Amino acid sequence: MAASVLEGRRLGLIGAGRMAEALARGVTASGAVPPERITASDPDESRRRALAALGVRVVAENAAAAGASDIVVLAVKPQALPGVLDGLAGSIRPEHLVVSIAAGVPTAFIESRLPPPARVVRVMPNAPMQVGRGAAALARGARAGADDIAVALALFSTSGVACEVAESDLDAVTALSGSGPAYAFFLAECMIEAGVAEGLDGGLARALVAATIEGAGALLGANDEAPAELRRRVTSPGGTTQAAFERIDDAGVRAHLVAAVRRAAERSRELASGA
Protein backbone atom coordinates (compact mmCIF):
# COMPACT_ATOMS: atom_id res chain seq x y z
CA MET A 1 0.00 0.00 0.00
CA ALA A 2 2.62 2.54 1.10
CA ALA A 3 4.95 1.69 -1.76
CA SER A 4 2.22 2.11 -4.40
CA VAL A 5 0.88 5.40 -3.02
CA LEU A 6 4.38 6.83 -2.66
CA GLU A 7 5.83 5.45 -5.87
CA GLY A 8 7.80 8.12 -7.74
CA ARG A 9 7.43 10.66 -4.94
CA ARG A 10 10.33 12.78 -3.72
CA LEU A 11 10.52 13.42 0.00
CA GLY A 12 11.99 16.53 1.60
CA LEU A 13 12.76 16.60 5.31
CA ILE A 14 13.04 20.09 6.74
CA GLY A 15 14.99 19.35 9.89
CA ALA A 16 17.01 16.18 10.37
CA GLY A 17 16.33 15.39 14.02
CA ARG A 18 15.46 12.01 15.47
CA MET A 19 11.88 11.95 14.19
CA ALA A 20 12.99 12.87 10.67
CA GLU A 21 15.63 10.16 10.87
CA ALA A 22 12.99 7.66 12.05
CA LEU A 23 10.74 8.58 9.12
CA ALA A 24 13.62 8.22 6.68
CA ARG A 25 14.47 4.81 8.13
CA GLY A 26 10.88 3.68 7.87
CA VAL A 27 10.25 4.70 4.28
CA THR A 28 13.60 3.42 3.02
CA ALA A 29 13.45 0.10 4.91
CA SER A 30 9.94 -0.53 3.58
CA GLY A 31 10.97 0.33 0.04
CA ALA A 32 8.26 2.99 -0.15
CA VAL A 33 10.74 5.76 -0.99
CA PRO A 34 14.34 4.94 -1.96
CA PRO A 35 17.02 7.00 -0.19
CA GLU A 36 18.12 8.70 -3.40
CA ARG A 37 14.65 10.32 -3.59
CA ILE A 38 14.96 11.86 -0.13
CA THR A 39 16.61 15.22 0.64
CA ALA A 40 17.08 16.37 4.23
CA SER A 41 18.13 19.81 5.41
CA ASP A 42 19.53 20.84 8.77
CA PRO A 43 21.99 23.50 9.96
CA ASP A 44 23.61 20.93 12.28
CA GLU A 45 26.34 19.04 10.46
CA SER A 46 26.13 16.07 12.84
CA ARG A 47 22.45 15.60 12.02
CA ARG A 48 23.17 15.84 8.31
CA ARG A 49 25.80 13.12 8.72
CA ALA A 50 23.27 10.89 10.49
CA LEU A 51 20.86 11.13 7.56
CA ALA A 52 23.62 10.82 4.99
CA ALA A 53 24.54 7.49 6.60
CA LEU A 54 21.15 6.22 5.39
CA GLY A 55 21.97 7.16 1.81
CA VAL A 56 19.84 10.29 1.96
CA ARG A 57 20.98 13.45 0.18
CA VAL A 58 21.65 16.18 2.73
CA VAL A 59 21.85 19.95 2.38
CA ALA A 60 22.18 22.88 4.77
CA GLU A 61 19.46 25.05 3.20
CA ASN A 62 15.76 24.32 3.68
CA ALA A 63 14.82 25.83 0.33
CA ALA A 64 17.09 23.34 -1.46
CA ALA A 65 15.35 20.39 0.23
CA ALA A 66 11.91 21.75 -0.62
CA GLY A 67 12.88 22.46 -4.21
CA ALA A 68 13.99 18.86 -4.71
CA SER A 69 10.78 17.36 -3.29
CA ASP A 70 7.08 16.75 -3.85
CA ILE A 71 6.31 16.08 -0.18
CA VAL A 72 7.79 18.53 2.32
CA VAL A 73 7.88 17.34 5.94
CA LEU A 74 8.32 20.11 8.50
CA ALA A 75 10.27 18.30 11.22
CA VAL A 76 11.37 21.27 13.32
CA LYS A 77 10.60 22.51 16.82
CA PRO A 78 7.34 24.48 17.10
CA GLN A 79 9.15 27.64 18.17
CA ALA A 80 11.34 27.49 15.07
CA LEU A 81 8.46 26.93 12.66
CA PRO A 82 7.47 30.57 11.92
CA GLY A 83 10.97 31.42 10.73
CA VAL A 84 11.24 28.19 8.77
CA LEU A 85 7.93 28.87 7.04
CA ASP A 86 8.96 32.40 6.14
CA GLY A 87 12.15 31.02 4.62
CA LEU A 88 10.24 28.41 2.63
CA ALA A 89 7.44 30.64 1.34
CA GLY A 90 9.20 31.26 -1.97
CA SER A 91 9.98 27.57 -2.49
CA ILE A 92 6.58 25.95 -1.89
CA ARG A 93 4.75 25.24 -5.14
CA PRO A 94 1.04 24.38 -5.65
CA GLU A 95 1.94 20.71 -6.27
CA HIS A 96 3.70 20.39 -2.90
CA LEU A 97 2.10 18.48 -0.06
CA VAL A 98 3.26 20.00 3.24
CA VAL A 99 3.28 17.68 6.26
CA SER A 100 4.02 19.12 9.71
CA ILE A 101 5.04 17.26 12.84
CA ALA A 102 5.52 20.50 14.82
CA ALA A 103 3.50 19.81 17.98
CA GLY A 104 0.66 22.18 18.75
CA VAL A 105 0.86 24.28 15.58
CA PRO A 106 -2.51 24.36 13.77
CA THR A 107 -2.77 23.74 10.05
CA ALA A 108 -4.42 27.16 9.65
CA PHE A 109 -1.28 28.86 10.94
CA ILE A 110 0.92 26.96 8.49
CA GLU A 111 -1.45 27.68 5.61
CA SER A 112 -1.42 31.38 6.47
CA ARG A 113 2.40 31.55 6.22
CA LEU A 114 2.66 29.78 2.86
CA PRO A 115 1.46 30.87 -0.57
CA PRO A 116 -2.03 29.59 -1.48
CA PRO A 117 -3.19 27.01 -2.25
CA ALA A 118 -0.86 25.27 0.22
CA ARG A 119 -2.09 21.78 1.16
CA VAL A 120 -1.19 20.89 4.72
CA VAL A 121 -1.46 17.73 6.82
CA ARG A 122 -0.61 17.88 10.50
CA VAL A 123 0.80 14.82 12.27
CA MET A 124 1.27 13.90 15.92
CA PRO A 125 3.81 11.03 15.96
CA ASN A 126 5.53 9.61 19.03
CA ALA A 127 8.98 8.47 20.09
CA PRO A 128 8.60 4.70 19.42
CA MET A 129 8.58 5.64 15.75
CA GLN A 130 12.37 5.54 16.19
CA VAL A 131 12.17 1.75 16.46
CA GLY A 132 9.40 1.26 13.90
CA ARG A 133 6.67 0.96 16.55
CA GLY A 134 5.23 4.46 16.48
CA ALA A 135 1.67 5.70 16.78
CA ALA A 136 0.82 8.68 14.58
CA ALA A 137 -2.45 10.57 14.22
CA LEU A 138 -2.94 12.77 11.14
CA ALA A 139 -5.34 15.63 10.47
CA ARG A 140 -5.90 17.37 7.16
CA GLY A 141 -5.94 21.11 6.75
CA ALA A 142 -8.59 23.12 4.91
CA ARG A 143 -7.20 22.45 1.42
CA ALA A 144 -5.85 18.90 1.84
CA GLY A 145 -7.89 16.20 0.13
CA ALA A 146 -8.33 12.46 0.35
CA ASP A 147 -5.30 11.80 -1.86
CA ASP A 148 -3.14 13.99 0.36
CA ILE A 149 -4.13 12.21 3.57
CA ALA A 150 -3.56 8.86 1.84
CA VAL A 151 0.00 9.88 0.99
CA ALA A 152 0.68 11.10 4.54
CA LEU A 153 -0.81 7.94 6.05
CA ALA A 154 1.38 5.83 3.78
CA LEU A 155 4.46 7.75 4.92
CA PHE A 156 3.89 7.28 8.61
CA SER A 157 2.55 3.74 8.43
CA THR A 158 6.07 2.66 7.45
CA SER A 159 7.16 3.46 11.02
CA GLY A 160 4.21 2.09 12.97
CA VAL A 161 0.47 2.65 13.20
CA ALA A 162 -1.06 5.71 11.50
CA CYS A 163 -4.66 6.91 11.56
CA GLU A 164 -6.65 9.97 10.54
CA VAL A 165 -8.45 12.11 13.13
CA ALA A 166 -10.14 15.50 13.16
CA GLU A 167 -7.72 18.29 13.97
CA SER A 168 -9.80 19.10 17.04
CA ASP A 169 -8.85 15.66 18.41
CA LEU A 170 -5.10 16.22 18.16
CA ASP A 171 -4.81 17.73 21.64
CA ALA A 172 -6.21 14.51 23.11
CA VAL A 173 -3.90 12.48 20.87
CA THR A 174 -0.93 14.55 22.02
CA ALA A 175 -1.77 13.83 25.65
CA LEU A 176 -2.44 10.15 25.04
CA SER A 177 0.06 8.76 22.54
CA GLY A 178 2.35 11.75 22.05
CA SER A 179 3.18 12.01 25.75
CA GLY A 180 2.27 8.37 26.36
CA PRO A 181 5.78 6.88 26.08
CA ALA A 182 6.84 9.09 28.99
CA TYR A 183 4.06 7.58 31.11
CA ALA A 184 5.30 4.09 30.24
CA PHE A 185 8.90 5.09 31.03
CA PHE A 186 7.75 6.46 34.38
CA LEU A 187 6.01 3.18 35.18
CA ALA A 188 9.22 1.39 34.23
CA GLU A 189 11.20 3.66 36.58
CA CYS A 190 8.87 2.81 39.45
CA MET A 191 8.91 -0.92 38.77
CA ILE A 192 12.71 -1.00 38.51
CA GLU A 193 13.03 1.01 41.73
CA ALA A 194 10.77 -1.46 43.52
CA GLY A 195 12.66 -4.44 42.12
CA VAL A 196 15.97 -3.04 43.32
CA ALA A 197 14.44 -2.30 46.74
CA GLU A 198 13.46 -5.97 46.88
CA GLY A 199 17.05 -7.01 46.24
CA LEU A 200 17.26 -7.48 42.46
CA ASP A 201 20.26 -6.34 40.46
CA GLY A 202 19.44 -3.09 38.65
CA GLY A 203 20.34 -4.44 35.22
CA LEU A 204 18.23 -7.54 35.73
CA ALA A 205 15.29 -5.47 36.98
CA ARG A 206 15.53 -3.23 33.92
CA ALA A 207 15.62 -6.18 31.53
CA LEU A 208 12.63 -7.83 33.19
CA VAL A 209 10.61 -4.61 33.24
CA ALA A 210 11.41 -3.76 29.59
CA ALA A 211 10.35 -7.24 28.45
CA THR A 212 7.22 -7.10 30.61
CA ILE A 213 6.05 -3.73 29.27
CA GLU A 214 6.83 -4.70 25.68
CA GLY A 215 5.04 -8.02 26.07
CA ALA A 216 2.02 -6.47 27.73
CA GLY A 217 1.73 -3.95 24.91
CA ALA A 218 1.97 -6.70 22.32
CA LEU A 219 -0.69 -8.73 24.12
CA LEU A 220 -2.99 -5.69 24.28
CA GLY A 221 -2.53 -5.05 20.57
CA ALA A 222 -2.98 -8.70 19.60
CA ASN A 223 -6.70 -8.87 20.37
CA ASP A 224 -9.77 -6.72 20.94
CA GLU A 225 -10.28 -7.57 24.60
CA ALA A 226 -10.52 -4.68 27.02
CA PRO A 227 -7.44 -3.91 29.11
CA ALA A 228 -9.56 -4.45 32.22
CA GLU A 229 -10.28 -8.03 31.13
CA LEU A 230 -6.61 -8.72 30.42
CA ARG A 231 -5.75 -7.32 33.84
CA ARG A 232 -8.43 -9.48 35.49
CA ARG A 233 -6.83 -12.61 34.05
CA VAL A 234 -3.53 -11.78 35.72
CA THR A 235 -5.17 -10.91 39.03
CA SER A 236 -5.86 -14.03 41.09
CA PRO A 237 -8.15 -13.52 44.11
CA GLY A 238 -6.06 -13.09 47.20
CA GLY A 239 -2.83 -13.18 45.18
CA THR A 240 0.12 -10.87 44.69
CA THR A 241 -1.37 -8.79 41.87
CA GLN A 242 -4.55 -8.20 43.85
CA ALA A 243 -2.47 -7.03 46.79
CA ALA A 244 -0.67 -4.57 44.51
CA PHE A 245 -3.91 -3.18 43.13
CA GLU A 246 -5.43 -2.79 46.55
CA ARG A 247 -2.58 -0.41 47.35
CA ILE A 248 -2.97 1.32 43.96
CA ASP A 249 -6.70 1.78 44.51
CA ASP A 250 -6.21 3.05 48.07
CA ALA A 251 -3.84 5.71 46.72
CA GLY A 252 -6.29 6.85 44.03
CA VAL A 253 -3.73 6.24 41.31
CA ARG A 254 -6.33 5.74 38.55
CA ALA A 255 -7.96 9.12 39.16
CA HIS A 256 -4.59 10.85 39.31
CA LEU A 257 -3.42 9.25 36.05
CA VAL A 258 -6.62 10.14 34.21
CA ALA A 259 -6.35 13.70 35.53
CA ALA A 260 -2.69 13.87 34.45
CA VAL A 261 -3.47 12.86 30.87
CA ARG A 262 -6.35 15.34 30.73
CA ARG A 263 -4.02 18.06 32.03
CA ALA A 264 -1.60 17.24 29.22
CA ALA A 265 -4.45 17.69 26.71
CA GLU A 266 -5.37 20.98 28.34
CA ARG A 267 -1.77 22.16 28.09
CA SER A 268 -1.70 21.19 24.42
CA ARG A 269 -4.71 23.44 23.84
CA GLU A 270 -3.01 26.25 25.77
CA LEU A 271 0.14 25.97 23.67
CA ALA A 272 -1.89 25.98 20.44
CA SER A 273 -3.55 29.22 21.53
CA GLY A 274 -0.23 30.81 22.44
CA ALA A 275 -0.72 30.64 26.22
Residues 26 and 122 in one domain: yes
What does the pLDDT average to over 128-135?
96
CATH number at residue 264: 1.10.3730.10
| pLDDT for residue 125 is more than 90 | yes
Residues 68 and 154 in one domain: yes
Q: Report the sign of the C-alpha dihedral through residues 66, 69, 71, 76, in that order.
A: negative
% of the chain with per-residue pLDDT over 90:
95
Residues 153 and 198 in one domain: no
**Arithmetic mean of pLDDT over the chain:** 95
Residues 183 and 151 in one domain: no
| pLDDT for residue 275 is more than 70 | no
Domain stops at, among 125, 147, 169: 169
Residues 139 and 206 in one domain: no
Domain stops at, among 133, 150, 169: 169
CA distances from 183 to 85, 176, 230, 245, 258 (A): 32, 9, 19, 18, 11
Residues 98 and 139 in one domain: yes
For 192-235, what is each residue's pLDDT tens digit?
Answer: 999 999 999 999 999 999 999 999 999 999 989 999 999 999 99
Tell whether pTM > 0.85: yes
For 34-51, what is each residue's pLDDT tens digit?
Answer: 999 999 999 999 999 999
Residues 154 and 208 in one domain: no
> Domain span at residue 190?
178-272
- Pairing of the two strands 134-140 and 119-124: antiparallel
| pLDDT for residue 2 is more than 80 | no
Domain stops at, among 103, 134, 169: 169
Quick one: pLDDT band at residue 3, thresholds 50, 70, 90? low
B/e letters for 56-84, b = 16+ CB within 10 Å, e = fewer, are bbbbeebbbbbbbbbbbbbbbeeeebeeb
Quick one: pLDDT band at residue 271, thresholds 50, 70, 90? confident
- Given this model, what pLDDT does residue 1 score? 55
- Given this model, what pLDDT does residue 267 score? 93
Residues 218 and 84 in one domain: no
84 and 110 Cβ atoms separated by less than 8 Å: no
| Number of domains into which the chain is organized | 2
| pLDDT for residue 53 is more than 60 | yes
Residues 145 and 230 in one domain: no
Residues 81 and 199 in one domain: no
Q: Does residue 87 or residue 271 have the better pLDDT?
A: 87
For 236-267, what is each residue's pLDDT tens digit?
Answer: 999 999 999 999 999 999 999 999 999 999 99
For 159-190, what is each residue's pLDDT tens digit?
Answer: 999 999 999 999 999 999 999 999 999 999 99
CATH number at residue 112: 3.40.50.720
Residues 73 and 92 in one domain: yes
Residues 138 and 188 in one domain: no
- Given this model, what pLDDT does residue 209 score? 98
